[in-house]
Structure 1
């Protein structure tokens, strides 16, 4: 947590534009990669090593949806349930910069880029995020909007 949040609940009005949250790490195993894709994105370059070799990526790669899911998990774990979330609103943009491969260790960061409070005791929070692999190469950039409760302040 950034210094000014300690361990208390975090409302939209507590967040400051420019705050940066460093995320934890996640190792993408081949089993996880293939299992996710088999269930949700069963394209050959995600689920079949032999087919993936000849596809242009030179081997298995994770589904973009899997990569987004990893980011979501790391972000939620980072705020540790302290954000007084109402719901996600939208993913404004997701860019899959480089493929994620088996055994990649992903980490990254999330930055608060906008906080706007409304008269319904909630705030709209926009974040910009990136995930990088173990070599420090960006694999994902994403911009998302979430609604958080506010402390009841109106604008």
Structure 2
């Protein structure tokens, strides 16, 4: 679980439409502290390389200790983005991720915080828009550990009769 709980009650509260989102807005997300147990559990299921799942072997590897899988780091980003913002947005679907870069290894005990910056919003004339978002995760030392650009499809506010 992340350090920040879902900011809205469970249910179907999606009150943010494409019309409500401003290009250039800088949106902070919550925080999540990664544990060694979480690193091993995630990687055991999805990326079972020795430096993710075996602390003894990882101690003799390049990084000298367990590090989180990049896919795990991406999942942390997604969870924080949903908890902080996307749970309220009328998202239709993700369209793509590009320029995904893992810049610094994520280690047990790292506290990750994120931010989203809306770079563009293009209406398609069919009651929806495509939003381009730059995102990053930063550790407690101020180092950017991951960055990416994503495109998301969102509903525009329905017209009232």
Is TM more than 0.5 here? yes
Q: What secondary structure is seen at the aligned counterpart in 2 of 1:35? A: helix
Contiguous gaps of at least 5 residues in structure 1: 2-6
Aligned residues, how many? 148
Contact 1:23 1:74 in 2 (8 A): yes
Does 1:73 find its partner at 2:107? no
Does 1:117 find its partner at 2:123? yes
Per the alignment, residue 142 of structure 2 pairs with 136
Q: What secondary structure is seen at the aligned counterpart in 2 of 1:128? A: strand
Per the alignment, residue 55 of structure 1 pairs with 61
Distance 1:148 1:140 in 2: 24
String of CA shifts for 1:36-63, please: whole Å, max 9, x gaps. 0000000000001121122211110000
Per the alignment, residue 30 of structure 1 pairs with 36
User: Which is further off, 62-71 or 44-53?
Assistant: 44-53
Q: What secondary structure is seen at the aligned counterpart in 2 of 1:32? A: helix
Contact 2:29 2:85 in 1 (8 A): no
1:21 to 23, 27, 31: 27
User: Which is further off, 67-76 or 81-90?
Assistant: 81-90
CA pair 20-93 structure 1, distance change in 2 beyond 3 A: same
Runs ≥4 in structure 1, deviation > 3 angstroms?
none
Distance 1:78 1:40 in 2: 25
Distance 2:71 2:39 in 1: 11
Alignment TM-score, normalising by the size of structure 1: 0.90
Q: Following TM superposition, by how much is the alpha carbon of 1:80 offset from its aligned partner in structure 2, in angstroms?
A: 5.8
Does 1:85 find its partner at 2:91? yes
1:96 to 98, 102, 107: 102
